[in-house]
Structure formats: C-alpha cells, structure tokens
Amino acid sequence: MFDALAKPALTPETPLAQAREAFESHLKGGDYSRHTVYFFIHDLRLLGQCLGEERPIGAIGLKDLQDFVDWLRRRRGVPCSTKSLRRRITSVKAFFRWLHEDLQALPHNPAAELVYPEAVEPLPEVLTPEQI
C-alpha cells in the first residue's frame, strides 16, 4: 500500500492497476466519503477490465477512453444508466487529472476531452384538465 501523504513516483510506464492503487490511497487520505472511494475505484477496475490491468498509463489515449465508454454502453453486456455512465466518466477524468496535474506522471491528460453523454431527464407528469 502507498503512503497517502507522500506522492507516489508514477511514470508513463506504470501499469494501470498500480496507478489505481496509488489513487485509492490518495482518495482514502483525502476528504472523500467511503462511497466515493468505493465507486471511483470500482469504475477504474472496469477500465482495467476493458483496457488491461497491465497497460501502461502512458499508453492510454483519448480513443481508448472513448472505446471504454462505448464498451460500458454497448459491449459489456450489463446495462449502464446514463447517471452511472456519467459517474464512471467522472472517475476516469479525476484519475487522469490527478496523474497529470497533481503527480506530473503523464505529459498530458488523455481524459481532458472525454465528453459526457447527454443527460435526458424525464419530463414531469402534467395533470390533464380532467384530472384537475
């Protein structure tokens, strides 16, 4: 396990699984709820399932992340609501922002341009004149 206060020495060659463990320690050492930590790490495990746990973090690009989103939506075989998909994208964005901005482990943030699916809220039920 990593020291939550010390910044881990990650590089572009660091495997995704190892970077995820460091991120988990970072989240646990911060002011995050246990639910946030649980779901962010779960979402990043899904990323590892899709892209490979041993994939170097520096070898992951925007196209890979877009493929991950498509995998969640269409190819995983498990339904994913728009709300869950948006949270999973947030998890990925937070992870790569941390790697790039906080640790400088990556020269660029591949998730910076990853877009959220449009959230379509159901329209409210309106009473008909007869119901009024």
- CATH number reported for the structural domain that contains residue 77 in this entry: 1.10.150.130
The boundaries of the domain holding residue 69 are: 16-102
Provide DSSP, 17-65: HHHHHHHHHHHHHTT--HHHHHHHHHHHHHHHHHH-TTSBGGG--HHHH
Q: What is the average per-residue pLDDT within 82-110?
A: 96
Is the CB of residue 55 less than 8 Å from the CB of residue 65? Answer: no
Q: What is the average per-residue pLDDT within 84-108?
A: 96
> Per-residue confidence at 5, pLDDT binned at 50, 70, 90?
low
> Per-residue confidence at 121, pLDDT binned at 50, 70, 90?
low
* 112 belongs to a structural domain: no
pTM for the model: 0.83
> Per-residue confidence at 1, pLDDT binned at 50, 70, 90?
very low
Q: Please provide residue 56's backbone torsions phi and psi, each rounded to the nearest 5 degrees.
A: -65, 140
* 31 belongs to a structural domain: yes
Give me the amino acid identity at 58.
G
pLDDT at position 2 over 50: no
> How many domains are there within the chain?
1
> Per-residue confidence at 120, pLDDT binned at 50, 70, 90?
low
Average pLDDT score over the chain = 90
Q: What pLDDT is attached to residue 77?
A: 87
